[in-house]
Structure 1
Amino acid sequence: MFKRMIMAVLLLTVAVTTASTANAEDVKTWTDAHVDELVALYKQFHAHPELSFEEQETAAKLAQELKALGAEVETGVGGHGIVAILKNGKGPTVMLRADLDGLPVTEATELPYASKVKTTNENGEQVGVMHACGHDIHITNFIGVARYMAAHRDQWQGTLVMIGQPAEEKGAGAKAMLDDGLFKHFPRPDYAMALHVDSFLETGKVGYRAGFSLANVDSCDITVRGRGGHGSYPQGTIDPIVLAAYLIVDLQTIVSREIAPLEPAVITVGSIHGGTKHNIIPDSCHLQLTIRSYSETVRAHLKEAIIRKTQAVAKSFRAPEPVIKYDMGTPSLFNNERLVDRIVPVFQQALGAENVLESARSMGGEDFSRYGRAGIPIMMFRLGSIDPARMAEAKSAGRPLPSLHSAQYYPEPKETLRTGVTAMTSALLELLKQPKTP
């Protein structure tokens, strides 16, 4: 009797392992068979980018694709956001997110499918538009995963909520969808997954990180005010440009002398504008800052210190009160540790352990973080997008590769999508796996 029980357990273990391996092989086989279709779709998205909150055609194309799979699709959520739902019996609810928007960048890749789109931005300026941050890969990968899940309902159980999110580049799309009732009018997920292309990681590889991965992204506009006059009679003026120069130097002491060295923090003055002519001291000078951090304690300290130092410098010059507009923007992204621990072995099985790497923390930002702040366990992983030969050539020549947001950045779409669809689908099958039969 005991021997029969042991044999039954062994057979069940073999059956479960075989089924898991078969699922992984099914995903790879399916992806290999359909990757060329996805590449063609990717090229369409790449050639027709749209700016943040203007993603009308992109959203319409994505909605059409998802409706064709039998999903329940709602459009116009938080702007041009879409929500598509695939229900497949009782089980967990998992959210998959892709971001839809491009950037005001004129493409310089010379690819045959390069974007030639021009548009007028919110300031009335004529700008080029490009998917310089890889959102076209994200959208196409999203469609590939959705196609697999819709065609293989026998491999999973539960509810898949798929969202196409607008305006990630402005850090505003996730908030807009949440404010529009994303988790009130649609099923609230037990987990949420997303990916982002990596411009410094080879195709075939993915990167992961548990805990803090991306930073709080805040901004500050400061107008320091003075008293203008002739440049040859400075004694009768309060020079706001000199005041701004003092402030720029003083701001650097916040991170170097007020924040603990082991706490990540960045204050960058990215823009300074003042004056119109050589011999005119202006009345004001305008500065634009980006502020990065991880913890909410450091975030609050940076805000207080920037305001304090700006006001102090103005007082030291006997200048009028400065105008300070501080925007608490995208919160830091924290990948749920238990979710990461569950998914990493799935990636290792699907892609090979040597292709699953721990990523470094970054001071970049991502509004996918807002879903985590809403109480959902989230995980965003990095997707390699650069052909290994191209990377090796650049390294040998001592030439840096174009980063995300560069007019010259482009992924190698076929291998990037092959890896992305395999990894993300495998993760969803794990989170939506059918309960074991007793």
Structure 2
Amino acid sequence: MEDFRSRSLAIKELVANLRECGFSVSELDFHKPTSSRTLDLYTFFFKLLDPWMIPAYRSLLDNAKDRLQLAYIDQTVVFNAMEDITIHGFLKDFLSMISVPDFDLTDILTPTPQRQTFIVLALNNFTVEALRCKRHMLPLLEPLKEQAETFDRLLAEKDSLEKLLKEKQKRKEEDNRLADLKVSENEKIRETLFEYRKESEVNGTSLKLDREKRQRLKDSVSSVHFALMDCKSKYTVFKDNIDIDIEKAEAEMKELAHKTDIVKQEQLKKQQELAQHRVERALAKSRSELLDQLKQSAAENKRLEAELKRLWQSVETMQKEKEAALDEERELKQIINQIEINLRTTELEMEKCDEQDAKLDETKKIYWEKSIKQDDELRETLKELRRAEDALNEETKGFQKQINEVLSAHMEVMELLAPKIQLLDAQMERLLLETED
């Protein structure tokens, strides 16, 4: 009888909660459950819990409900339909997680009132706790969301800064490489000029170049420098400039040969040939170095293209993650709306509970005052009873004294009558003996 009363109270509470949440249900659905209404109940709870679960489960429940309605006559078809969509396994795993053991298909196909009430009550308690937990977690999730947005923004800034840093490093390396080339070429030209001057001084023909020739040499050096800096796009121009410089040097050498003595012409020709060979060797070496640098730059370009592809793929993955985060944010907004609705209902319930608590407090206060008065009255009656008990004890003491006096007098009388009683006993024995004789 008590189990029936507790189950009926639980059913009334469940019906009230479900109606407040917008689900049309009656107590008859729990006393005489059907498979269709059972799946309706499960579907409603899983819609409330949908943001915390995989959305496909909701469609599975709806599909199961439709198949049950269409194939309820043939129970084997129903079993096959339920096994096809694996709803039985999912419900079993989920309900075992919330302390509902031994779930099977009979709980859906032929539910009993006790079993259905137990399962729905467990789902209701789990949903209430989940919504309450979500309400407490929202203030904690907001700063985390802001931190995640700040982190995404910082990641984007970091990527842009890394790109700028790579570009600056690349430019710096290119400038350093060109500066090294310039220094090496200048050193080679200086060594060539130093050797040429040394040989001229040894032979006693120290050539003094005038300002125009020195300026021409400086122009040739600067042209070589600019050609090296623009080695990729202006290699042909660099080659033409070198050929022009060689022709100018040959013309200058011819002019010098005509101006010098006939004796020194052969020596000058040999020196010119040596200088020309050295210049050609230096030019060939510089050309080979330029070709090597071009190959290295091509390999570097390939590496940069691969790095760019990798970065583009990472950007695409980040875009996908951002879209997923937006979807999660939409789901969170839906959850928040549902939570706000539930909060309104809970606030109304809390107001009702507060009113009931106030009434209970008033009744407790009245009862407490009455109990205090009754306690005072009981204390007074106890005091009176104790006084009466003391008076009764005094009376009993007087009665006991009188009884003791009577007993002592009785004992004295008995002591006085004892000899007479003994005589009477002796006379009675004689009479008995006489009567026997």
Q: Mark the structure with the bigger radius of gyration.
A: 2
Q: TM-score, normalised by structure 2?
A: 0.21
Q: TM-score, normalised by structure 1?
A: 0.21
Identify the structure with the greater helix proportion: 2
Structure with bigger RCO (C-alpha 8 Å, 6+ apart): 1
